[in-house]
Each structure stands twice: as C-alpha cells, then as structure tokens.
Structure 1
C-alpha cells in the first residue's frame, strides 16, 4: 500500500448511520466505524478507502490473516483484531442460518458460507458440512489440507466423521487457490467415489462445491453429482 498522505475529511459516518441507516454509507465509511480512528494525516474514512484499494475489495480485506493485516501501515493490533472479529462474526452468522434452516433450500447461503470459509485460502483445503435428516447443518469439519494444487481426501475419514455426528447427508467443499472454479477430472472422480462410499452407510452426498475468492460452483447444479 502506498504511503501517500490522506487529506482530512469532514465525513461523520456514525452520525450518518444513525440518521439514515447503514445502507446509505459507503464501504469506507462502514470500515471507519469499525476502525474508529485514522492515522496521522489520514481520517478513518480515508484509511478505510486506502485499505479497500490496497486489497482490491472488501472480500480480500476481510479475509486477510493477522500477519498480513499487521504489516499494513496504520493497522496495529487493535484495528487488526477488529477486522478479524468482523470476518469471524459474519461466518458465524451464516453458520447459524444453516443450522436453523434447510440447507437444500438455501443454496446461496451455503455457497456464501463456503466462500467465506475457504475462498481466501492460499492452499487447497477441503471441508465437509454434515447435515441431519432435515438437511440442517450439524457441524463443519476440515477433512483435508493439501498443497497449492492438490489435496488428499480419504473417504473412510469422511464416513467415520459422518457416523460420529449421526449425519444423514453432507456437502463437500474445497477451494481452488488458482481462482479457476472449473472442476478437474480428479474432483469429479473424488465426487463419484465418495458418493458411492457414503451410500454404503446411508449418507447422501448432496453436493460438491468448488470454491474460489469470487464464489462457488455447485456440481449438483451442473448435474455432475
């Protein structure tokens, strides 16, 4: 991020929020409320703008880890913790929705949740969302962590966890750090193999999501399950 100084700004985001609602504020203004203060020569709003520009958008900013955030001029421990807390709260809110509702009726929420969990990761991770008979989320577990290009998923471990949680179904999700959401032949082969293995213990594989920083692709929606 450049170190050019920012001119002061008269914007008062907290007052605007209370008077007109959060929806009228810019992303930089909303960030300013979280950050509370700016840095020397740069208001909180302008600091918010600089952060969004530096990361190329809110998603990348709010998905950054502590080390990355702490390296940014103006972000000390307090501001870094505030940003990390906001990201985790948003993930937990999505998780609550899936635990309370019917996952198959909330495909976009499932995609948003998986994108929030996996989309920003630089190394391939695979996780399973274990669901009850009403397709409500029971829990989420990481089942594999691989290199930049490959992760090894062991169906027996997925099945073992599914039985432990008394799951009736599950959704598999893994990220492509390359940013390309197109499933590979290995992804499709894993999907077929896992679906068959789970069927032997009466657990349904409902979907396999390929996740990138910009969203998720559903193999079920593409007819590839």
Structure 2
C-alpha cells in the first residue's frame, strides 16, 4: 500500500502564484509584504501577531508609530514599510478613479473615500462630481479645516459642478476624532448644499462622514 507524498509547505507566495492574489487571506498578504520574520518567529507568525494586535488591516495600516513600539521585535523599519504600503494603496485607488471614470457603487464609493480620508489629521471636505450616468468626472478636496471643524461654501461646490457640467455629486468629510456620527452642523450644511444644488438641477446622491474604521451614509440613514 503506497503512501501519498506529503506536499511541501505552501507559503503565501506559492499560493498567490497558483491561485491568484484574491485567494490570499489578509494575514497571508501581510506576510508577503513583510518578507521575513524576526528571530525565532516566522513571517506568518509575525503577520498574524500584527493583524491580531490591531484587529484589522485598516487598524494596522493607520496606526501611529508608538503603538508599534509596544510590540516586541517590531520596529521603525516595519512601521515605515507598512505606512508606504498604505500610501501606495491610496494612490492606486485615486489613480484608478481618475483614469477609469467608473460607475460607482455604494461599496466602491465608501472604500475609496475611507482610503482618502481616514488618516487625515484635520477635517477635509471632498466632493465627487459625476455625469448624468453617475460616472466619475472628477474628485476634489474642496475645503480643509481644523481638528474639529471645516468651513464649507455650497456656492463653490455648485460653481465647480457647473464648470464640468456635472449632473450629480457625492459629498464626504472626515472626523479626525474617529467617531463618524454626524453633528447637527454636518446635517445643516448638507441641507444648504442640497438646496443650492437643486436650484441648478444637480443631484446630491449622498454625504458620507468617515471615521476611523467606520462611516455614516446620509443616504443609508434616509436623510437624503
């Protein structure tokens, strides 16, 4: 009776080559970027340790340096590498939106805006301008504020939309505190923008407030 040969260890690189990148777990993808482990710790063990410590890829890639310094064997070099990976992903999504002019789904919109705004240290107000088929024309960081406030001018949004003949817009801004629940000021400025846009027959499809690992959609709440 013949025994089946034991297959060699199938690491994340081999799995990617065999089945494609989408087949990899978050931990396996992280292991590929880390490349090597530490003394007495394999790269997969290190990747799993990091992932579990921060709870998610988003938590890991947006964490400050001091949180890495609490993990034994993980230093500034690893932190720098991971921050570069996060920035590369953000720039990729930005270039894809600009070049492909896609028809955005709610999930695509949320993921793009979270990538753009989650790590900002002050409030940024963004607008995505779209044509009458809801394809992206342009996205713009229109207003920049402080840690807890950003001054928004609805007429400037309308003026910019008219320049590019936009038929619809999606609004977004971040809360650097990490909590995404909209304030009364957020609701009031949204109502003002909607009124200004309605006057020029421009639809406001949504306003997303981006926190740290969370978001609130005005459309999903039924406020738009």
Which bin holds the TM-score, normalised by the shorter protein?
Answer: 0.7 to 0.9
Which position in structure 2 is the counterpart of 1:88? 91
Q: In the aligned structure 2, how far is the partner of 1:113 from the partner of 1:202?
A: 26
Q: Secondary structure at the match of 2:180?
A: coil
Q: In the aligned structure 1, how far is the partner of 2:178 from the partner of 2:83?
A: 26
Q: Secondary structure at the match of 1:188?
A: helix
- Quick one: which of 72, 94, 100 aligns to 2:102? 100
TM-score normalised by L of structure 1: 0.77
Q: In the aligned structure 2, how far is the partner of 1:81 from the partner of 1:114?
A: 18
More deviation, 195-204/139-148: 195-204
Relative to structure 1, the CA distance from residue 69 to residue 17 in structure 2 (aligned partners, 3 Å threshold; closer, same or farther) is farther
Which position in structure 2 is the counterpart of 1:172? 171
**Does structure 1 conserve the Cα–Cα contact (< 8 Å) formed by 2:128 and 2:140?**
yes
Alignment of 1:212 onto 2:211: yes
- Report how far residue 165 of structure 1 moved: 2.2
Relative to structure 1, the CA distance from residue 97 to residue 110 in structure 2 (aligned partners, 3 Å threshold; closer, same or farther) is farther
How many residues end up aligned between the 2 structures?
A: 211
- Structure with the greater alpha carbon radius of gyration: 2
Q: In the aligned structure 2, how far is the partner of 1:26 from the partner of 1:165?
A: 41
- Report how far residue 141 of structure 1 moved: 0.6
Q: In the aligned structure 1, how far is the partner of 2:111 from the partner of 2:86?
A: 19
Instruction: Deviation per CA, 1:69-118: give whole Å up to 9, x if none.
Output: 9986142766653453234324545x3698222x3xx1222122212222
**Does structure 2 conserve the Cα–Cα contact (< 8 Å) formed by 1:70 and 1:77?**
no
Alignment of 1:32 onto 2:31: yes
- Report how far residue 171 of structure 1 moved: 0.8
Q: In the aligned structure 2, how far is the partner of 1:218 from the partner of 1:16?
A: 37
In the alignment, structure 2 segments of 5+ residues that lack a partner are 1-8
Q: How does 1:1-225 map to 2 (within 5 A)?
A: 12-63=11-62, 73=75, 74-75=77-78, 80-90=83-93, 92-93=95-96, 95=97, 99-101=101-103, 103=104, 106-225=105-224
Relative to structure 1, the CA distance from residue 132 to residue 64 in structure 2 (aligned partners, 3 Å threshold; closer, same or farther) is farther
Q: In the aligned structure 1, how far is the partner of 2:114 from the partner of 2:22?
A: 23
Relative to structure 1, the CA distance from residue 220 to residue 59 in structure 2 (aligned partners, 3 Å threshold; closer, same or farther) is same
Q: In the aligned structure 1, how far is the partner of 2:39 from the partner of 2:10?
A: 17
Q: Secondary structure at the match of 2:219?
A: coil
More deviation, 69-78/42-51: 69-78
Q: In the aligned structure 1, how far is the partner of 2:220 from the partner of 2:87?
A: 32
**Does structure 2 conserve the Cα–Cα contact (< 8 Å) formed by 1:131 and 1:168?**
yes
- Report how far residue 31 of structure 1 moved: 1.1
In the alignment, structure 1 segments of 5+ residues that lack a partner are 1-9
Q: Secondary structure at the match of 1:217?
A: strand
Q: In the aligned structure 1, how far is the partner of 2:10 from the partner of 2:176?
A: 38
